[in-house]
Structure 1
């Protein structure tokens, strides 16, 4: 796997963001590479495919709604029917369901795990027999720093990514005899509208958020984009880390794609007391404001 030229790489969530950046970078760098790109938007996939084809890649578009398991399971068969093989699977598609755990509807919870965990698992199950028969392959699962660290309002997102990382660890050991390498990529903040979209999702999924006991934190959530912009990586920079995992002879189990990410994980999981870590995240996400607001409202009732 030292060279990706002429290999077949399947990328989900390839219409925008990290997935699109990865497809474009691979196309520019590896002449003759063959890409299968999957996402919901045909129009956006066509834009990515046009760019990739102009620089010499062969591209198969596979429009897919990852919430529909039958469509997910059909992806691998379509790619093998077209290219004859799959050398690498990049499970990039995912999204963040933000909000207090108690207030998120069951339907939104199911969607979170369907997209971030069940769909990648279905793809892995479908692609492993093909990779084993051809002598090996690569599986790259895109997780997050949130797959190692949980934070307020990110309970569902983090739990889906924690699960994806646990699955990856088990697969890494199970598939090693077949020369199928499994790695996890852990991006931190990326230059997208993640927090703005998350704030909007809160408004859509939480009934009367302005009356919620968490309302002061909802207001802060809308402003987190500006607080994280300095540390945010561009999608192209994350794509470089994914490529590093794809070409490494012995890829690492995990690649952190965030400024100061390794130190952050080490400090918050190995050094600092849990109470201090909790207090940090509570302040960052405005839970300290929720506590003050709640105490004030309770005092006013007496």
Structure 2
């Protein structure tokens, strides 16, 4: 049976690079995000310096992935809408019948996530809870039930340093805010629970921190000059994508559960090369 990878947040950045890496490896794909076509505008999204939507789309990623001869299902999904999440996952499972690898990469990226604590609005916290806690759990539970029927599956959750440690400076000075840090901290706790509860049923689960990655969002946030100034501290999206593929396919990867995998040093230590 051909293997299927379900990748959320696949319209750009790490999600797009991951889709291409898995397609190159022969996986059929289910790809989700909000942006179906290039240039679409959405509420609560990051925009570039000119005020335009970031480049990238699900259909654009799918077109690239299909060049490797794999099947690609495109499924629009909005993390902030539970009905949209339910419909998207149900469509994936109905189409393929199973999912071998789930990569929870999509996040809510509103600029208000990094508001200072006393400026933080209740509505922001509600969106954070939906986008970082409720939606990933909803997706995972639906897919996990299907995986358990086959006693086989791999789930990888994408976190960040903000979910692992305190900010180096206050939010007003460029550090992350409580909402973003709390959201990513919730993501960081999910894989260990899955592995403890279902590891003896053929399920593997991982938490991965990609580090600083040169994505459309990073460039929109700190600018091209900021990316250049960071130089060696910034990886291209293909590097964490290669780590995700290795975790999903290498037999020895199971030894790296119950920890947060720092993608960039991990790739170096295990000679994982981006293609």
What does the per-residue CA deviation read over 1:247-296, in whole Å, with 9 as the maximum and x for residues that have no partner? 1224312321235999xxxxxxxxxxxxxxxxxxxxxxxxxxxxxxxxxx
Q: Which secondary structure does the structure 1 equivalent of 2:32 belong to?
A: strand
Residue 65 of structure 2 corresponds to 52
SS of 1:239's partner is: helix
RMSD (Å) for aligned C-alpha atoms: 2.5
Deviation, 1:141, is 0.4
* Distance apart, 1:51 and its partner CA: 1.2
Query: Number of residues paired by the alignment?
Result: 235
Pairwise CA distance, 1:119: 1.1
| Residue in structure 1 matching 2:182, options 144, 151, 159 | 159
Note the C-alpha offset of 1:81.
1.1
Contact 1:117/1:164 (CA < 8 Å) preserved in 2? yes
Unaligned runs of 5+ in 2: 38-56, 269-275
- Contact 2:77/2:85 (<8 A) preserved: yes
Match of 2:49 in 1: none
Judged with a 3 Å threshold, the aligned counterparts in structure 2 of structure 1 residues 171 and 229 are, in CA distance, closer, same or farther, namely same
State TM-score, norm by structure 1.
Answer: 0.71
> Which has the greater radius of gyration?
1
Residue 228 of structure 1, aligned match among 227, 230, 234: 230
Alpha-carbon distance in structure 1 between the residues aligned to 2:221 and 2:116: 12
Per the alignment, in what secondary structure is the counterpart of residue 258 of structure 1? helix
- The answer to whether the Cα contact below 8 Å between 2:5 and 2:22 also exists between their aligned partners in 1 is no
Paired residues of 1:195 and 1:224 also in contact (CA < 8 A): no
The secondary structure found in structure 1 opposite 2:147 is helix
- Structure richer in helix, relative to its length: 1
Matched, 1:39 2:41: no
Cα offsets for 1:82-137 (capped at 9, x unmatched) = 11111111000014522312212222222223222221110011111110001210
- In structure 2, the CA distance between the partners of 1:259 and 1:232, relative to structure 1 (3 Å rule), is farther
Report if the CA contact (8 A) 2:8-2:32 is conserved.
Answer: yes
1:124 aligns with 2:121: no
Partner in structure 1 of residue 205 of structure 2: 182
Q: Is structure 2 residue 85 aligned with structure 1 residue 72?
A: yes
For 2:225 and 2:22, the matched residues in 1 are separated by 34
Q: CA deviation at 1:66?
A: 0.9
Structure 2 Cα separation of the partners of residues 228 and 239 of structure 1: 21
Query: Does 1:62 find its partner at 2:113?
Result: no
Gaps of 5+ in 1: 200-220, 263-302
Task: Name 2:48's counterpart in structure 1.
Answer: none
Measured in 2, the distance between the counterparts of 1:227 and 1:194 equals: 16
What displacement does 1:23 show?
0.6
Say whether residues 1:8 and 2:4 are aligned partners. yes
Q: Which residue does 1:258 correspond to in 2? A: 264
Q: Aligned-pair distance for 1:21? A: 0.5
